[in-house]
Chains A and B, each alone.
Chain A
Amino acid sequence: MRLLLAGLLGLMLVAGEADALPMFARQTGQNCVACHAGGQFPELTPYGRLFKMTGYTIGERTLPLSVMGVASYAKVRDTTKTDDPTVDFQKNNSGMFATGSLFLAGKVTDNIGAFIQVTYDNYAGQSVGPDGGLGKFQSHSQADNMDIRFADRFIDANRDLIVGLSVNNNPSVSDPWNSAAAWMQYVPNASPTSHQFVDGAFPGFGSGGNIAGANAYGYWNKTIYGELGLYGTANHAASFMSAGINNANRTALGGTNPYWRLAYTREWGAHNIMVGTSGMTAHVFDAGSDTSDLGNRGRFRNAGIDSQYQYLLDPHAVTAQVAYMRQTQDYSANTMAAAAPTYFLADGVTPVASPNPSDVINTFRAKLSYVYQAKYGGSIAFFNLTGTTNTLNQTSGFDSTGLITTADPNGTNITSTRVNGNLSGNPSTRGFNYEGFWTPVQYLRVGVQYTAYNKFNGASSNYDGFGRDAKDNNTIRFYIWAAY
């Protein structure tokens, strides 16, 4: 894979500017900036959104293949407050080839087009070493975003109606706006734990991805966009949408799981805005559980609002995004039956409160970005996740002697977790994300991101019970992101 990437990089440098483009660009013959705001993939311009809504069918059929790779380096501010830095901060302070994706995408017929991404993760897992410790990293490939469409457009002087069907595997991946949950985070992150604090909190759907959905959508007079979808488990005929994930790890959904999206859009001069709302109800079985037992089934209800404003006038591209998502999670009956308070208050005597059967999480994120000449760009984002406190989510706490321990000598208490631990049972996480990037050629982007936390897992200081503060998780990350 590394060799492949090196080869491709070489190829890209040799190929002339105008022909060295990923598949969609080859299909329309246009440069990335036509569809991507300021060239910053994957954020779409008004034209890029119409390209997507009309089913990726503009242009001509070409070789429908592209590859994308991300090389990454991250450094977490404090790597001392841990039991084992090799576990909590894998690959910290070292460069690596993080992920690679293969895209099969483009125009199929006048009405059908596809966007299929398979992602290779160089650090998907870590084997057990000969001494019982951690061994080598193991790579793995699996289905990533998929969106196969049928679309038609009825347009004349008096009306413009785009209608379509999308078969996809991730709620909101079919959405043309980049404040949608699936698209707001756009630099692919890496799996090693050195990268776990990159980016901060994002609004998302509780169901997660790699599920199978069929969505119908319509866009009327470039003003109102509506979409309705139904999702189920990506198995049987739809198992390609969860390819590379074994039965135990595949998200299992029960019942009907509706997704909806409504948006209002307007364009005036070089400005355009979208104000929208979306939501989903998903009945999700506990990971790896028996799906014939409804006691294993929990429920997520998501409802959100989001908005995106763009000012696009060469050489300037300004984007402002705001997204807010409320998620109510009802835990499965079996989860609740098994849940018993295992920690004590600091007195070592009083057990913590009983777990609640449901939780609410509110995630807010706002981002402002600017790109000059489709070359030099930067962004600043604020994220704030708040939610209910629940001892079910507590992963650190006091034992019966009033101490916080990682190993329990008596075997009566569950142990506490450092770094990822949560002493409060509250998920609150808040901070800023700053980014600067440079796109020397249109299919290559080099960037640096800094994420600063002032709250993590419910507290600013000592959130894990071992003295780790939110700011200890501040992370700087450098990346090289290329596509061909």
Chain B
Amino acid sequence: MTCARRTAALFAALLIAVAEAGCSNVERSRDLANTSVPGKVLALQICSNCHGVDGNSESPNFPNLAGQTEHYVIEQLSSFRKHSRIDPAGFEYMWGLSRHLTDEQIKALAAYYAGQKIRTPNRPTGRPELRDAGKAVFAGGVPEKNIPPCATCHGADGLGNEQFPRIAGQHADYLVKQLVVFQRTDERPEGAIMKVIAHDLTRDNIDSVASHLESMPVGK
């Protein structure tokens, strides 16, 4: 063996040794196929990249998960995993990441986010008239079109409950996109109820209610 070859062999052996030693590092793993990685580790190592360490995402491209109801997070992750939620943003970003999650990991992820504190904008965002119009829709619905108040299901504080998700303090852009998905497509089949609700909402209704929700004080 030449000197170069020997160095190379040594280097390779070292690399393999390091690799083996570092193979499983479950406290700080980013391995989505290793079912022994705790949900919280995945939340910190992977989900945080888009949803924020504490479930408050910086970019409106990604929903806030802080304070989201456990039931809803479990339902959505399961739905991504079994490919029943097929809206483009959903499958582009979430199908792959959820494909090997175990029920335990999903539960742990849901518990982690449910336990995080919601951060809302320091100052209300959007135009006041828009927010006021949205507040009316949220609290009173659109009576002439028989659209019930959002508050009846999502709660007067918009924080959701056993059955319905938290929508208060969510990014307006995200809310608008979801309402449009419900209204125009069947890409979120578990949201059949919302399809009925969103069906007759005008674009103005959608923009205003989203604006109101984004700035809604969450009182926690």
Which A residues fall within an 8 A CB radius of B?
A: 18, 25, 28-31, 33-34, 46-47, 50-51, 54, 57-61, 107-112, 150, 152-157, 160, 235-237, 239, 267-270, 312-314
Contact = CB atoms under 8 A, between A and B. Distances in A.
27 contacts: A28-B96, A47-B49, A47-B50, A50-B49, A54-B30, A57-B30, A58-B30, A59-B32, A108-B19, A109-B23, A110-B22, A110-B23, A110-B25, A110-B30, A112-B19, A112-B22, A155-B53, A157-B53, A160-B48, A235-B4, A237-B4, A268-B58, A269-B59, A269-B60, A270-B59, A270-B60, A314-B177
B149 to A, nearest CB: 29
Interface string B99-143: 110000000000000000000000000000000000000000000
Contacts of B44: 155-156
Contacts of A57: 30-31
A57 B28 CA distance: 11
Interface in B22-38: 22-25, 28-34
A33 B62 CA distance: 13
- Residue picked from A29, A31, A108, most chain B C-beta under 10 Å: A29
Contacts of A59: 30-33, 96-97
A314 B29 CA distance: 29
B53 A156 contact: yes
Nearest to A111: B22
Interface class of chain A by DSSP: mixed
Contacts of A150: 18, 22
Interface of B: 3-4, 7-8, 11, 15, 18-20, 22-25, 28-34, 44-46, 48-50, 53-54, 58-61, 89, 91-93, 95-97, 99-100, 173, 177
A18 B95 contact: yes
A267 B60 CA distance: 11
Contact of B53 (A109, A160, A237): A160
A30 B62 CA distance: 14
The 5 A-B pairs of least Cβ separation, nearest first, read: A29-B96, A60-B33, A31-B92, A237-B7, A110-B25
A31 B60 contact: no
Contacts of A30: 92-93, 95-97
A239 B7 CA distance: 11
Given A112-B18, A155-B53, 17 more contacts: A30-B92, A30-B93, A31-B92, A58-B49, A59-B33, A60-B100, A109-B19, A152-B25, A155-B44, A157-B53, A236-B3, A236-B8, A237-B11, A267-B58, A268-B58, A312-B61, A313-B60
A286 to B, nearest CB: 24
Nearest to B95: A29
Nearest to A152: B28
Given A58-B46, A153-B45, A314-B89, A269 B28 contact: no
A279 B193 CA distance: 58
A157 B54 contact: yes
B93 to A, nearest CB: 5
B22 A61 contact: no
Nearest to B91: A18
A188 B53 CA distance: 37
A79 to B, nearest CB: 44
Contacts of B49: 46-47, 50-51, 58
B173 A313 contact: yes
Contacts of A160: 48, 53
Contacts of A28: 32, 96-97
A269 B58 contact: yes
B32 A236 contact: no
Nearest to B173: A313
Nearest to B7: A237
A109 to B, nearest CB: 5
A82 B97 CA distance: 56
A153 B61 contact: no
B144 to A, nearest CB: 32
B59 A155 contact: no
B99 A29 contact: yes
B174 to A, nearest CB: 10
Contact of B22 (A109, A239, A270): A109
Contacts of B33: 59-61
B207 to A, nearest CB: 15
B46 to A, nearest CB: 6
B5 to A, nearest CB: 9
B60 to A, nearest CB: 6
A150 B21 CA distance: 12
A239 B11 CA distance: 13
Nearest to A112: B19
